[in-house]
Amino acid sequence: MEKTVCIHHTDFDGHASAAIVGHCLGWNKVIFRAMNYDYDFPYDLVDQETTVCMVDFSLQPFERMVDLLECCAKFIWIDHHERAVEQYWRWRKEGKAATKAFLGWQSLDAAGCELTWDYFRKGYVWKAQDCPPDRAEHPRALTLLGRYDVWDQSFAPQTFEFQCGLRTLISDLGAPIVTPEDSKAKELWEALLFSPKHIQDFLVDKILDVGRPIYQHQRAQQAKRAQAVCFPTTFDGVPAIAANIGGADSTFFDGVLEKYPDARMGIMFRWGRGCWVATLYSLTGRDCPHLGEIAAKYGGGGHPGAAGFQVYADERLPFLELKGRPQIGSAE
Residue 153, domain member (yes or no):
yes
Q: What is the mean pLDDT of each run of 10 residues along the chain (332 residues)?
A: 92 94 92 88 96 95 93 95 88 77 88 93 50 70 94 89 91 63 80 94 96 93 90 94 86 91 95 87 90 89 85 84 45 40
- Please indicate, yes or no, whether residues 84 and 169 belong to a single structural domain of this protein: yes
Tell me: do 120 and 244 sit in the same domain: no
248 in the same domain as 114: no
Dihedral-angle region of residue 247 (phi above 0 means left; psi in -120 to 50 means alpha; beta otherwise): left
Cβ neighbors of 85 (< 8 A, separation 6 or more) are 79, 106, 107, 108
β-partners of residue 3 are 50
Last residue of a domain, one of 214, 247, 281: 214
Quote the pLDDT of residue 133.
Answer: 53
**Per the domain annotation, does 47 fall within a domain?**
yes
Classify residue 95: in a domain, yes or no: yes
Task: Note the pLDDT of residue 328.
Answer: 46
Question: How many domains does the structure of the chain reveal?
Answer: 2
How are strands ordered across the β-sheet holding 30-35?
30-35, 3-9, 50-55, 74-79, 103-106
Model pLDDT, residue 255 = 87
Helix and strand numbers, DSSP H then E, in the chain: 9, 11
Residues 251 and 219 sit within 8 Å (Cβ to Cβ): yes
Same domain, 249 and 158: no
**Residue 41 and residue 164 share a domain:** yes
Kindly give the residue spans of alpha helices, DSSP state H, lying in the chain.
12-25, 62-71, 82-94, 112-122, 140-149, 158-173, 183-194, 197-229, 291-296
Domain that holds residue 263: 230-312
Q: The pTM is what? A: 0.79
Asked if 59 and 163 sit in the same domain, the reply is yes
pLDDT confidence of residue 274? 80
Say if residue 169 is in the same domain as residue 236: no
In terms of domains, do 80 and 51 share one?
yes
Give Cα separations from 48 to 44, 73, 306 (angstroms): 12, 5, 36
pLDDT tens digits, residue range 206-264? 999 999 999 999 888 888 999 999 999 999 999 999 999 987 877 899 989 999 999 99
* Residue 40 maps to a domain: yes
Task: Report the CATH number at residue 303.
Answer: 3.10.310.30
Shared domain check, 19 and 112:
yes
Is residue 252, in this structure, part of any structural domain at all?
yes
Find the angle CA(99)-CA(94)-CA(109) to the nearest 5 degrees.
Answer: 95
**Can you give the pLDDT at residue 98?**
67
What is the spatial distance between Cα 275 and Cα 277, in angstroms, rounded to a whole number? Answer: 6
Q: Is residue 129 part of a domain?
A: yes
Pair (58, 190) in one structural domain: yes
- Predicted confidence (pLDDT) per residue in 270-292, tens digit: 988 788 999 999 998 899 899 98
Closest-CA residue to 124 (of 167, 90, 78, 160): 78
Looking at 155, 186, 214, the residue that finishes a domain is 214
**Does residue 275 share a domain with residue 201?**
no
159 and 289, same domain (yes or no) = no
325 within some domain: no
Parallel, antiparallel or unpaired: strands 231-235 and 74-79: unpaired
280 found inside a domain: yes
Strands 301-302 and 306-312, bridge-based pairing: antiparallel
